[in-house]
């Protein structure tokens, strides 16, 4: 570690002493004039110097070192009017920018931060969504939803109706790092995947990075979904809310002390069970979820600010006293932002995260409980150092203590309760440099060095091809094996001309926690496992190549990327694995490798009355695991060859905005029988290759409409949102099962189950 730090210091000194001209720093915060919310990704540029600029960080902070002189600075952020200020830079100055909401101009905007940002930044496979964009896109039940919107982008695939989570570039559901204010969210879905855990009223923006993540992120193979909650208005009070068919929301935000501290509390609850209870048949059933987001911040002084944010959400499902289940996440983040000097910004976070599920089954005289949980304590230290206009450095460390309790049984009929929680320590140090090598070439390169240590308190079995060959007892306080990984990352961007650029990247990601699921769609009862003596860190190496071209004055944006991803130490259950009751689940696991490759195309129209995008992905993802499919390559369940999405938003009149989405996807890879036989009087099916069949293609058209009559000068504003899901009533296959023909036992038949045809949605939104 000391060697790493001294190396780091040497690099910093070298970079910052590149030349000796007299230079000063301009730094500060970029925020919303009305609410005081700061902006991530706002850009500061200089008139007449196209290639010098800086992007604000997650806390709205920017810093730029420039030669002494007079400059005209411009600051812009999506949906806000550009701010322009002439400043004479003859000393280090702090300048905070407040931008005015453009919404008063009644414009609909779907765009990147800067009109040609896509060309200039050395980032790949990255999309930032803000809530204004998401609000107009139709989704099921009229509930706007980040994850549902992300799934309309190339390379990001829904696991299907009723599925749990999403897949990025051929990765599995658990290979996405989902962060809510830096806290990992282990199950981001409610109600079996129909809703995400992100209440859009409490969310500021969300960034998805498809594998080429900067060095400060780590721990998952496929993607990072970084969701930021709003800070809360520090200038005045606001109430926003919505009433929908299936759920309602309410948020309150405002200052505690004006300009100094603010809070936000936001809640959401579904009430599907209210309708259920109306029918006497289901009068004793429970079926709902709720979310509670809370956030507060306090500005100690100009240089120091602390934040607290918390999330608590739970799904409850019950049928009388017989059967009850609930699951949910809770997270808490305490952060301290500190501006050490005009070029060095620090953020320190202490994060708590918990996911658990409980199932209770009660009978006339017995009860039975199944539960599992994963709990983290997490310390993060991150520095941004704005060395000079050519180099921005990020470095820091991260340590997470995991406690993972596997599925356990308890209750009156069980004496089997000997499974203990397993503990692990995940640590990482990282450094990266965003280097503007020339007017045309910029490079973001970095290294993350990560480690996972097995901590004591349990007994670990060692297996060789499923046969137990040894045992390691680790007492409390002892440490077991440590896995080390070096993860280099590099992304380069070459600006070919004013309208096009070429990008290339390589990154290695590792993953120390693994979600074990034996169902094709995922259940809340799927369990997490840490590394052990058998299960090694998963490793993914991804290379990608991209090209961006903007047309007609940046109104149209075209991005395309190809990628190839190689995955090591992939895990699956062996055939016939018993995952719920077995004493040691590790005896049921098999290990192998994976590969995924694809081509993604995205064409966006960003301005005008009609905006939207068309996205297309051609891809393949496969696994090869010894002991499955005769040790041959097979399609991963999330493999889909074609994936097409179309999103259109049309400003019909001043008050009406119409929208439509259309998706077409190859059906999921599934295993259908090829033959059959009879065993003891029952038909049994014969299978050949795993996942060699396909569900029928999935396609669907959704409509949405928003009516909003702005009342100038009035405090109370409201809007109506109408939606129709699956407009032409396509019966998309949810499952296909096989059975004996009920009328003719000498025949067998395939039975397709579909979930939804037309689902309407109405939501009334208000704010004051």
Partner 1 sequence: MRLPIYIIVLSLLFISCEKVIDLNLGTNNPTLVIEGNITNQPGPYFVKLTKTVSFAEASVYPVVNNATVIITDNAGQKDTLAYTANGIYKTNALQGISGRTYSLTVIAEGKTYNAKSTIPQNVVLDSLKYNPIQFAGTIIHTVIPIFVDPIVTGNSYHFVIKINNVLDKTYLVDNDNVTNGQVYVRPLFSNDIEIKPGDNVQVEMRCIDANSYTYYYTLSQAQTDGPGGGTTPTNPPNGISGGALGLFSAYTTQTKSIIIP
Which of the residues 158 through 177 are near partner 1 (CB under 8 A)? 159-160, 162-164
Rounded to whole angstroms, how far apart are CA atoms 429 and 438? 29
Rounded to whole angstroms, how far apart are CA atoms 145 and 649? 16
Q: Which of residues 477-516 bind partner 1 (CB under 8 A)?
A: none
In the complex, the smallest distance separating the C-beta of residue 474 from partner 1, rounded to whole angstroms, is: 24
* 663 is a contact residue toward partner 1 (CB under 8 A): no
* 106 is a contact residue toward partner 1 (CB under 8 A): no
Alpha carbon separation from 97 to 31, 58, 92, 166, 342 (Å, rounded):
6, 15, 16, 37, 15
For partner 1, the closer of residues 93 and 755 by Cβ is: 755
**Which of these segments, 304-312, 375-383, 602-610, 743-751, binds partner 1 (CB under 8 A)?**
743-751
* 3 is a contact residue toward partner 1 (CB under 8 A): no
**Which of these segments, 290-298, 364-372, 536-544, 717-725, binds partner 1 (CB under 8 A)?**
364-372
- Of positions 7, 47, 256, 688, contacts partner 1 by CB under 8 A: 688
Picking from 558, 559, 605, 660, the residue whose alpha carbon sits closest to that of residue 110 is: 605
- Of positions 750, 760, 762, 768, contacts partner 1 by CB under 8 A: 750
* 418 is a contact residue toward partner 1 (CB under 8 A): no
* 409 is a contact residue toward partner 1 (CB under 8 A): yes
* 463 is a contact residue toward partner 1 (CB under 8 A): no
Query: How many residues form the binding site for partner 1 (CB under 8 A)?
Result: 92
Q: Which of residues 236-275 bind partner 1 (CB under 8 A)?
A: 272
In the complex, the smallest distance separating the C-beta of residue 671 from partner 1, rounded to whole angstroms, is: 5
In the complex, the smallest distance separating the C-beta of residue 702 from partner 1, rounded to whole angstroms, is: 16
* 281 is a contact residue toward partner 1 (CB under 8 A): yes
Would you state the structure tokens that stand for residue 671, as one six-digit string? 């295993």
* 748 is a contact residue toward partner 1 (CB under 8 A): yes
Element (H, E) at 13: helix 2-16
* 583 is a contact residue toward partner 1 (CB under 8 A): yes
* 754 is a contact residue toward partner 1 (CB under 8 A): yes
- Of positions 353, 372, 535, 693, contacts partner 1 by CB under 8 A: 693
Biggest CA-to-CA distance, the chain: 91
In the complex, the smallest distance separating the C-beta of residue 621 from partner 1, rounded to whole angstroms, is: 15
* 636 is a contact residue toward partner 1 (CB under 8 A): no
Rounded to whole angstroms, how far apart are CA atoms 118 and 385? 24
Picking from 283, 284, 297, 291, the residue whose alpha carbon sits closest to that of residue 323 is: 284
* 731 is a contact residue toward partner 1 (CB under 8 A): yes
Give the x/- contact pattern for partner 1 in 12-51, rule: CB under 8 A. Answer: ----------------------------------------
* 581 is a contact residue toward partner 1 (CB under 8 A): yes
Would you state the structure tokens that stand for residue 530, as one six-digit string? 């840490």
Rounded to whole angstroms, how far apart are CA atoms 85 and 96? 11
For partner 1, the closer of residues 3 and 281 by Cβ is: 281
Rounded to whole angstroms, how far apart are CA atoms 299 and 262? 9
Give the x/- contact pattern for partner 1 in 69-88, rule: CB under 8 A. Answer: --------------------
Which residues partner with 530 through β-bridges?
513
- Cβ(638)–Cβ(668) below 8 Å: yes
For partner 1, the closer of residues 193 and 480 by Cβ is: 193
Rounded to whole angstroms, how far apart are CA atoms 506 and 212? 7
* 459 is a contact residue toward partner 1 (CB under 8 A): no
- Of positions 274, 752, 760, 762, contacts partner 1 by CB under 8 A: 752
Rounded to whole angstroms, how far apart are CA atoms 3 and 385? 20
- Of positions 678, 712, 714, 716, contacts partner 1 by CB under 8 A: 678
In the complex, the smallest distance separating the C-beta of residue 756 from partner 1, rounded to whole angstroms, is: 6
Those residues whose C-beta lies under 8 Å from the C-beta of residue 48, and which sit 6 or more positions away, are 72
> In which residue are the tokens 């989570």 written?
165
* 465 is a contact residue toward partner 1 (CB under 8 A): no
Rounded to whole angstroms, how far apart are CA atoms 556 and 610? 12
- Of positions 373, 690, 702, 719, contacts partner 1 by CB under 8 A: 690
**Which of these segments, 36-44, 74-82, 208-216, 754-762, binds partner 1 (CB under 8 A)?**
754-762
* 278 is a contact residue toward partner 1 (CB under 8 A): no
Q: Which of residues 306-335 bind partner 1 (CB under 8 A)?
A: 317, 319-320, 322-323, 325
Pairing outcome for strands 589-605 and 189-190: unpaired
Picking from 478, 347, 453, 450, the residue whose alpha carbon sits closest to that of residue 402 is: 453
* 467 is a contact residue toward partner 1 (CB under 8 A): no
For partner 1, the closer of residues 288 and 528 by Cβ is: 288
* 683 is a contact residue toward partner 1 (CB under 8 A): yes
- Of positions 14, 237, 416, 768, contacts partner 1 by CB under 8 A: 416
Contacts made by residues 691-694, CB under 8 angstroms, sequence distance 24+: 691/634, 691/635, 691/636, 691/637, 691/639, 692/634, 692/635, 693/669, 694/666, 694/667, 694/668, 694/669, 694/670
- Cβ(444)–Cβ(212) below 8 Å: no
- Of positions 5, 757, 760, 768, contacts partner 1 by CB under 8 A: 757
Q: Which of residues 182-211 bind partner 1 (CB under 8 A)?
A: 191-193
For partner 1, the closer of residues 282 and 298 by Cβ is: 282
* 626 is a contact residue toward partner 1 (CB under 8 A): no
Alpha carbon separation from 658 to 354, 566, 645, 652 (Å, rounded):
40, 42, 17, 6
* 630 is a contact residue toward partner 1 (CB under 8 A): no
- Cβ(139)–Cβ(131) below 8 Å: no
Which residues partner with 323 through β-bridges?
319, 361
For partner 1, the closer of residues 560 and 735 by Cβ is: 735
In the complex, the smallest distance separating the C-beta of residue 745 from partner 1, rounded to whole angstroms, is: 7
Give the x/- contact pattern for partner 1 in 637-656, rule: CB under 8 A. Answer: x-------------------
Rounded to whole angstroms, how far apart are CA atoms 471 and 172? 30
Rounded to whole angstroms, how far apart are CA atoms 39 and 55? 10
For partner 1, the closer of residues 562 and 736 by Cβ is: 736
The alpha carbon of residue 374 and the mean position of all alpha carbons in its chain are separated, in whole angstroms, by 19
Element (H, E) at 747: none
- Cβ(395)–Cβ(432) below 8 Å: yes
- Of positions 680, 713, 715, 728, contacts partner 1 by CB under 8 A: 680
Would you state the structure tokens that stand for residue 103, as one six-digit string? 């919404």
Q: Which of residues 514-573 bind partner 1 (CB under 8 A)?
A: 518-523
Phi–psi pair at 577, nearest 5 degrees: -65, 140
In the complex, the smallest distance separating the C-beta of residue 221 from partner 1, rounded to whole angstroms, is: 21
In the complex, the smallest distance separating the C-beta of residue 576 from partner 1, rounded to whole angstroms, is: 4
Pairing outcome for strands 23-32 and 97-99: parallel
Going through 210-343 in order, the beta strands assigned E by DSSP cover: 223-229, 238-244, 247-257, 261-270, 285-299, 304-319, 323-341
């Amino acid at each position: 570690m000391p060697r790493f730090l001294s190396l780091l210091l040497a690099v910093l000194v070298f970079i910052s002493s590149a030349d000796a001209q007299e230079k000063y720093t301009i730094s500060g915060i970029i925020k919303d004039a009305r609410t005081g919310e700061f902006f991530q990704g706002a850009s500061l540029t200089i008139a007449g110097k196209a290639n010098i600029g800086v992007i604000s960080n997650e806390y709205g902070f920017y810093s730029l070192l420039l030669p002494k002189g007079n400059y005209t600075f411009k600051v812009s952020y999506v949906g806000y009017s550009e701010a322009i200020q002439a400043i004479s830079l003859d000393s280090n100055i702090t300048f905070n920018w407040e931008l005015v909401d453009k919404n008063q101009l009644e414009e609909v905007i779907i765009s990147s931060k800067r009109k040609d940002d896509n060309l200039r930044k050395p980032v790949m496979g990255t999309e930032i969504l803000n809530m204004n964009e998401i609000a107009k896109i139709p989704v099921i039940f009229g509930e706007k939803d980040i994850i549902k919107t992300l799934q309309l982008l190339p390379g990001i695939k829904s696991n299907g109706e009723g599925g749990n989570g999403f897949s990025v570039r051929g990765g599995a559901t658990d290979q996405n790092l989902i962060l809510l204010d830096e806290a990992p969210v282990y199950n981001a879905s409610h109600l079996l995947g129909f809703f995400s855990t992100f209440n859009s009223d409490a969310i500021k923006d969300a960034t998805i990075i498809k594998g080429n993540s900067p060095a400060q992120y780590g721990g998952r193979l496929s993607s990072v979904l970084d969701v930021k909650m709003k800070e809360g208005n520090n200038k005045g009070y606001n109430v926003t809310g919505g009433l929908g068919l299936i759920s309602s929301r309410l948020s309150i935000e405002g200052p505690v002390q004006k300009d100094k501290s603010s809070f936000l509390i936001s809640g959401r609850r579904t009430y599907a069970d209210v309708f259920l209870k109306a029918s006497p048949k289901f009068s004793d059933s429970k079926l709902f979820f709720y979310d509670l987001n809370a956030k507060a911040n306090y500005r100690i002084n100009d240089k120091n600010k602390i934040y607290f944010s918390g999330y608590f959400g739970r799904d409850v499902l019950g049928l009388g006293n017989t059967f009850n289940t609930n699951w949910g996440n809770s997270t808490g983040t305490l952060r301290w932002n500190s501006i050490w000097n005009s070029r060095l910004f620090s953020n320190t976070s202490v994060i708590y995260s918990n996911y658990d599920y409980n199932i209770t089954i009660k009978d006339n005289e017995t009860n039975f409980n199944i539960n599992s949980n994963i709990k983290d304590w997490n310390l993060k230290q991150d520095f941004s150092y704005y060395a000079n206009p050519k180099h921005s450095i990020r470095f820091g460390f991260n340590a997470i203590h995991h406690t993972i309790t596997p599925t356990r049984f308890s209750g009156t009929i069980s004496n089997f309760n000997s499974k203990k929680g397993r503990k692990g320590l995940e640590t990482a140090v990282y450094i990266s440099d965003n280097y503007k090598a020339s007017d045309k070439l910029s490079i973001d390169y970095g290294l993350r060095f990560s480690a996972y240590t097995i901590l004591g308190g349990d007994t670990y079995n060692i297996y060789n091809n499923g046969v137990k060959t040894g045992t390691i007892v680790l007492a409390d306080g002892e440490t077991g094996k440590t896995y080390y990984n070096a993860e280099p990352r590099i992304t380069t961007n070459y600006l070919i001309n004013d309208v096009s650029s070429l990008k290339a990247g390589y990154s290695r990601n590792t993953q120390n926690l693994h979600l074990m699921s034996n169902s094709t769609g995922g259940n809340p009862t799927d369990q997490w496992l840490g590394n052990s003596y058998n299960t090694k860190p998963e490793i993914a190496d991804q290379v990608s190549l991209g090209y961006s071209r903007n047309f007609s004055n940046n109104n149209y944006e075209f991005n395309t990327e190809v990628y190839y991803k190689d995955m090591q130490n992939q895990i699956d259950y062996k055939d016939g694995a018993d995952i719920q009751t077995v004493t040691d689940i590790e005896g049921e696991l098999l290990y192998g490798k994976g590969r995924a490759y694809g081509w993604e195309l995205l064409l966006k129209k960003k301005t005008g009355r009609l905006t939207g995008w068309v996205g297309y992905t051609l891809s393949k993802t496969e696994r090869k695991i010894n002991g499955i499919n005769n040790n041959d390559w097979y399609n991963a369940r999330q493999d889909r060859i074609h994936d097409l999405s179309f999103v259109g938003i049309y400003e019909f009149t001043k008050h009406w905005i119409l929208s439509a989405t259309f998706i077409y996807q190859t059906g999921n890879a599934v295993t259908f029988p090829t033959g059959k036989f009879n065993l003891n009087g029952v038909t049994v099916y014969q299978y050949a290759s795993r996942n060699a069949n396909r569900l029928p293609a999935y396609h669907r058209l959704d409509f949405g409409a928003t009516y909003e009559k702005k009342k100038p000068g009035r405090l109370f504003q409201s809007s109506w949102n109408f939606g129709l899901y699956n407009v032409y009533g396509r019966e998309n296959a949810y499952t296909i099962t096989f059975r004996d023909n009920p009328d003719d036992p000498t025949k067998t038949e395939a039975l397709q189950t579909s979930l939804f045809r037309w689902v309407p949605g109405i939501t009334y939104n208000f704010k004051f």
